[in-house]
Structure 1
Amino acid sequence: MELLTLQYIIVAIIVLSAWIYAIYRIIQTIKHSKDKCYGCAGCTLHDEILKKQRQQSSSRPRCYRKASAFSQKNQ
């Protein structure tokens, strides 16, 4: 009987952690829904967006940190 209870506890922990992770990912997706660079690791579209933002304004684009971090990794 104790073994069965332990199995239920382990399954409950796994299911609970899966729900927490799913909720976390949904919240992150909603937070970054307007960020065109979210999830992009340096594709051509990302580069075009950065070019267009540089031409239109002198301020840093929203994904400035991602672009500079990506370029440092590739050097």
Structure 2
Amino acid sequence: MHINTKQLASHVSFLARLTPAQAEAAIDGLCNAIVNQLATGNDVHIEGFGLFEKIQSEGACRIRFRMQKTLGEKL
């Protein structure tokens, strides 16, 4: 099963006491910020969640996510 951005925003809005529209804007902003940082060569570490890294090899670009141990314990 998966959820889409609007469904995730509904959960975030409840947890963060935001409107669903504000939560969706925050999710979009976070995603854009991560992409922008990766595009400029920076890794992105989100405490309690994990690390996003841009990997370049043989002309191909991919993103690696390394889950933080605390996240794994919650799953």
TM-score (norm 1): 0.31
Task: Say which structure is richer in helix.
Answer: 1
TM-score (norm 2): 0.31
Which structure ranks higher in relative contact order (CA pairs < 8 Å, sequence separation ≥ 6)? 1
